[in-house]
Amino acid sequence: MIVVLKHGVEREKREQLIEWLRGQGLGIHISEGEFQTVLGLIGDTSRVDMDLIASLGIVDSVKRVTEPFKCCNRKFHPEDMVVEVGDVKIGGGNFCMIAGPCSVESEDQIVTVAKAVKASGANVLRGGAFKPRTSPYDFQGLKGTGIELLKIARKETGLPIVTEIMGVNHLPLFEDVDIIQVGARNMQNFDLLRELGKLRKPILLKRGLANTLKELLMSAEYIMAGGNEQVILCERGIRTFDDYTRNTLDLAAVPMLRELTHLPIIVDPSHATGIARLVPPMALAATACGADGLIIEVHNDPMHALCDGAQSLRPEEYDALAKKVYSVREVLNK
């Protein structure tokens, strides 16, 4: 950690700070320049409160030299992490196509959609059982029943299943779920993350609406620090001033995360845009910039078919998209 002191600070205050830092068990390397003094802190700085030091009147700025994340840091894990779910591999050059309806509604619905997306090349089935809704009066999902229906669809198709958890209390219901999803609103529900770190099961961690990449990695770190290393990161749009789409899909996060971490990175163009007709172009863009997979909403509801609407694709639209996705991957992997 490097601490840059302001120009012309009183010697006494400077000494007090240095003494205080030494009291924290740190070695201090002092470098006095013409315009500033730079303190290099040597030792275990992971417990040093960077914000506190930065806020001191005599400090100009503080800079971590080593990132605060370790388990998910590519520096220490140069090889891509490959998450395995049955026969499906995610990361390390393997492309994963997760698809399914927003909410599980009925056995017929989930099985029909599962078969359709499998036929188009999807290798994981998604479906919401617990739904995080802004309003307490909105439909909250089929909960336990929804998970049971997902298992039926898994049995019928062989597709592993992924579904979202909303609280530590529901963990027992997720025992036989293949991948547990943490939604954007729970990305910093640290208690939940810590519990998921005790499992030995893949976690699909979605980026929060207003979270930086570093915060996303620190949340992955919460899970991995507990011993569960199978974390899949998901970019799903951030909140900006822009309101023509539900969120702003931040695709540069894909190559940037690729540098920072060895974890697989997938993209959710459905939630990012909230508009079905924008899903195919953004899915192709995500593929072209190197994502390890896509999670896409597909629905066979006649209402959707009827009105060309919502953020869900119809099975035939998904099929057409999947073909294009594979051809873009192929041409870029040549």
- Dihedral Cα 196, 93, 318, 275, nearest 10 deg: 60
- Pick between residue 49 and residue 176 the one whose CB is nearest to a copy of itself: 49
Q: How far is the CB of 125 from a copy of itself (least distance, A)?
A: 22
- Pick between residue 200 and residue 334 the one whose CB is nearest to a copy of itself: 334
Closest CA to 253 of 210, 291, 205, 208: 291
Does residue 191 contact residue 164 with C-beta atoms inside 8 Å?
Answer: no
- Pick between residue 176 and residue 191 the one whose CB is nearest to a copy of itself: 191
Residue type, 299: H
Q: How far is the CB of 86 from a copy of itself (least distance, A)?
A: 29
Q: Which two tokens stand for residue 313?
A: 């694709």
Main-chain dihedrals φ then ψ at residue 331, nearest 5 degrees: -70, -30
- Strand 27-32 to strand 37-42: parallel, antiparallel, or no bridges (unpaired)? antiparallel
Measured CA angle at 110 (ends 109, 114), to 5 deg: 120
- Pick between residue 125 and residue 218 the one whose CB is nearest to a copy of itself: 218
Q: How far is the CB of 23 from a copy of itself (least distance, A)?
A: 10
Q: How far is the CB of 167 from a copy of itself (least distance, A)?
A: 3
- Pick between residue 87 and residue 137 the one whose CB is nearest to a copy of itself: 137
Q: Tokens 């694709």 appear where?
A: 313
- Pick between residue 119 and residue 168 the one whose CB is nearest to a copy of itself: 168
Does residue 52 contact residue 20 with C-beta atoms inside 8 Å?
Answer: no
- Pick between residue 178 and residue 221 the one whose CB is nearest to a copy of itself: 221
How far is it, in rounded angstroms, from Cα 98 to Cα 300?
16
Q: How far is the CB of 227 from a copy of itself (least distance, A)?
A: 12
Q: How far is the CB of 157 from a copy of itself (least distance, A)?
A: 26
**Residue 312 DSSP code:** P
Q: How far is the CB of 51 from a copy of itself (least distance, A)?
A: 7
How far is it, in rounded angstroms, from Cα 165 to Cα 207?
15
Does residue 182 contact residue 165 with C-beta atoms inside 8 Å?
Answer: yes
